[in-house]
Structures are given as structure tokens and as C-alpha cells.
Amino acid sequence: MDLTAVLFLIGFLFVFGWMFYMLFQSNRKEKETKQQVAQSLGFSPLEADTNLTEKICNLYRRTWANRNYQLRHVARRVIPEGEMFLFDLLDASTEDDSPIERQAVALISPTLNLPPFTLFPKASQQYALSDLANRIVEWGMSKIGEPVAFPQFPALTERYVIASPNPDELHRFMDESRARFFSQTEMYTLHAAGDMFTFAEIDPHFKTTDLQSMTRRVNRALGIFRALRK
């Protein structure tokens, strides 16, 4: 091997090593910042056990998709009515561990008795392609469960697509008070069943390392809890 090839190889290995080091440092910094924000909100770092992992991941699993979900950056906070968790959810079946949720909130409480359902925001009608976007959302939600119509709550229907494998149970659950609550929100995403739900928002400007943003998210999750509990 001539000198040029050797220098090229050394340079390549140096650049690769530097990139790997910077990625490692970035991931470590992100983890530390998330922990600091979580602790400021009364959460403690937690190594999620199998039960918690399965409980959260089961809300996202679909029979038609073979995905390997994993939790990372988990933190826990005890509240009088149960437990709250912050978590990242990753699809480990992809090469780059695609993020599904970033510092979403999970809330588990015996005071919840929720039908299985998923709530996803519609695109605002102010955009030119909103009708097409909403048809795509409705098609995607139909793969999760049966889209459930609420003609008696037009404000809710205008903002969200809601799907459930048990529409009748969801119809009984979604009373006027709960429908009014969600019709006054924007861009919420919710996965719910039994004694728990997970909550996040579709917001490209949301920063999981920003204390103000995470404070707002946790407070909104508590507001949802008060609306949904028995």
C-alpha cells in the first residue's frame, strides 16, 4: 500500500471516529438535558421494566405492522391518582430507530376506564390541500380501527379523526363534556385504553429540551386526565 493510500485510510478513520464521537456527545447531552427538564417537573429517571414497556407499546402496535418498539429517556412522577411518565418511543425495526414519540406523556390511573381509541388532528381548512391531507389521515386511521363519527359534536369532528376497534363503547364514552373539551384543543394526539393514555402534539416547533414547552405538555396531559377520568 503506497503512502497516499495509507494517509487516505488514516484520514477516513479519523473523520469517521470524529463523527462517531460527536454523535455520542450529542446523544449524551440530549439525555442529560431531558433528565434535567424532567427533574424540574418532578419526574425521576427510570429504567422501564417489561410491564411498563409492554403497556405503553401495546397502545401503538397494529396487527398489520411488525414493529419492534422501544422506550428511551423514561422518567416517572407519582400523582395522587396514579403515575405519569415521560418517554421517547422508537421503532427499532428500522435502521435508524425512527422516533414515534419524543417525550410524550403517559398517564396511568385506576380512576381511568377508557375504551380503546386513537385521536389524531385534522389539517386546518385554511390550507389548500387540507381536504386531501384529511382523507389521507382518515385512511390511515382506518388501519388502526373504525373511524367513529360524532355528528352531534360538529366542533369535535372538525378538529379530529377518532378511531376505535369498539365504536359503540366509544360513542357511550364520548359525552358532551368530553367532546367540548377536545373541541377546544388543537393538534393533540392521544392513544388510550383501559387505565391509561399517552399524549403528545403535532407541533414542528416543539422542543423536548425546553422547560416551558414540557411544562405546558405535562399540564395539558393533566387536563386531559381530568376530562377522561370516571
Following DSSP, what letter does each residue of 20-69 receive, concatenated? Answer: HHHHHHHHHHHHHHHHHHHHHTT-EE----HHHHHHHHTTT-BTTB---E
> What pLDDT, in 10s, does the model give residues 150-209?
999 999 999 999 999 999 999 999 999 999 999 999 999 999 999 999 999 998 889 999
> CA nearest 144: which of 199, 53, 65, 57?
65
The per-residue pLDDT for range 144-162, each reduced to its tens digit, is: 788 999 999 999 999 999 9
Count Cα atoms within 13 angstroms, Cβ side, for 173: 21
With 0-12 / 13-18 / 19 or more C-beta atoms within 10 angstroms meaning exposed / middle / buried, residue 3 is: exposed
Q: What is the pTM of this model?
A: 0.82
Q: How remote is the C-alpha of 154 from its chain's centroid? A: 26
Place of cell 388532528: 121
